[in-house]
Chain A
Amino acid sequence: MDASLLNIQPTASEPIYRQIVEQLRRLIASGQLAPGELLPSVRDVAGFHAINPMTVSRAYGIAESEGLLERLRGKGMAVAQHARRPRPQSERLALLQPALEALARQAGELELPAHQVLDRLRVLLEK
């Protein structure tokens, strides 16, 4: 993988380390980064984007602890062999929680009865 593939927006409200983790998550989930593929070194990423290397280290560390990346001795970071293994259901459900909370809040703001919202949601889910 080339360091330039990461899209860094320093002025965004999202801290750079999170931007990197999210992009790695998406690139790996979509298969654009295959298991075993080597990541650019912290130095290369920091140098290309003129960002603080500690930020890149932090992102790589989080991605490693989440099982997205693994450290290969003497080679640096690579996409984990099992990175695309389906996650347990509880974990996948947890990813949906913010969207569910937003839905519940908006339904409340629109003063919609819960059963009508759930009916619509069921139709969408069973499509």
Chain B
Amino acid sequence: MNAHAVSTASASAPLLVRGLHKQFMGRVVLDGIDLKLARGSVLGLLGRNGAGKTTLLDSLLGLTRPDAGEVRVFGEPAGALTDAVKQRIAYVAQQPAGFEWMSAGQWLALMAGSYPRWNQPRADGLLARWQLRVETPLVQLSPGERQRLELVRALAVHADLLVLDEPAARLDPTARRELLRELVFDALDEGTSVILSSHLVGDLERIASDIALLHDGHLLLRGELDTLKECHARVLLPAAAEPLPGELARRRLEGGGVSVVIARVPGQPWPPQLQAWHAQPQMLGLEDLFVEVTS
């Protein structure tokens, strides 16, 4: 690759998704997803079980072929990534498998050989802190240990794009905090872009710069985490209340009345209709917002 091609490739967004569609056996899983990831950003992907988070992550990496739409990773089509781009990506699946005949150390050595920027001291440090023994055959690792080993690999390769599917589900709280720290400092120091799907909403609230909420095949919420929190609220209204501008969800309450989630434009006031109902907007944490708009 010549110098011009290198500079063009590195100037391309880590990830660009346009109009992504995917069906499985007649069921629409992704129904027109648009997404852009900036360098150094940490995107938290949320969604209920079966919402299609893993399908989306797989499509981003070219592991699943979409029915329509386009995914570009560092400027290249996801279905035909060159080795140069593949080396800049690290993916940790929810249930890693394969290479069961190897020991943890042999597997890491294999990985080290395929990534030019492999950082052995970092791998050694994480192995020690996460209590992994290199002699252990992969087949004897518990699911949690196998996931930790995959995370060691993903952090040691110094990827420019890290894609993590439920990375913290099997980690204890201390190891989880450490993982979060490693991720945000990579994003800060190396400009690594991170996508992680997680049901641990509090973890995402710690480190995510951006949030995408996948629901019914669409990204129902997408944007900066801080802005999402400042621009969404719940209001309690009489059951007869007319639909409000920016209304996202409405739920009937026992004993009459409705709970409505509304969105406003950043920096703008809430709809004036609220005053007529004497309704006070209640600000929401990410988990409450998630539950209100997906249930």
* Chain A residues within 8 Å of B, Cβ to Cβ: 10-18, 43, 46-47, 49-55, 58, 105, 108-109
Set B42, B201, B208, B283: member contacting A13, Cβ < 8 A = B283
Measured CA separation A109–B275 after assembly (Å):
11
Closest to A42 in B: B188
Residue pair A13, B206 in contact (C-beta under 8 Å): no
* Total of A-B residue pairs, C-beta within 8 Å: 62
Measured CA separation A101–B180 after assembly (Å):
41
Are A10 and B284 also in contact (CB < 8 A) when A15-B230, A47-B185, A105-B278 are?
no
Residue pair B226, A15 in contact (C-beta under 8 Å): yes
Closest to B289 in A: A13
Measured CA separation A18–B284 after assembly (Å):
14
| A45 shortest CB reach to chain B, Å | 11
Chain A hits for B36, CB < 8 A: none
Residue pair A50, B225 in contact (C-beta under 8 Å): no
B143 at the interface (CB under 8 A from A): no
Residue pair A51, B206 in contact (C-beta under 8 Å): yes
Residue pair A52, B208 in contact (C-beta under 8 Å): yes
B94 at the interface (CB under 8 A from A): no
Set A10, A17, A105: member contacting B202, Cβ < 8 A = A10
Chain A hits for B79, CB < 8 A: none
Measured CA separation A7–B261 after assembly (Å):
28
Residue pair B229, A15 in contact (C-beta under 8 Å): yes
| B221 shortest CB reach to chain A, Å | 15
Residue pair B184, A11 in contact (C-beta under 8 Å): no
| A contact face: mostly helix, strand, loop, or mixed | helix
Are A11 and B209 also in contact (CB < 8 A) when A17-B226, A53-B184 are?
no
Set A13, A17, A46: member contacting B284, Cβ < 8 A = A13
Closest to A46 in B: B184
Residue pair A50, B177 in contact (C-beta under 8 Å): yes
Residue pair B206, A52 in contact (C-beta under 8 Å): yes
Residue pair B283, A14 in contact (C-beta under 8 Å): yes
Chain A hits for B205, CB < 8 A: 10-11, 16
| Interface pairs (20), CB distance under 8 Å | A11-B202, A11-B205, A11-B285, A12-B285, A13-B229, A14-B229, A14-B283, A15-B225, A15-B226, A15-B229, A16-B206, A16-B226, A18-B226, A46-B185, A50-B184, A51-B207, A53-B184, A54-B188, A55-B226, A108-B278
B195 at the interface (CB under 8 A from A): no
Measured CA separation A51–B204 after assembly (Å):
9
Residue pair A47, B181 in contact (C-beta under 8 Å): yes
Measured CA separation A51–B187 after assembly (Å):
12
Closest to B182 in A: A50
Measured CA separation A51–B207 after assembly (Å):
5
Are A11 and B283 also in contact (CB < 8 A) when A49-B206, A109-B278 are?
no
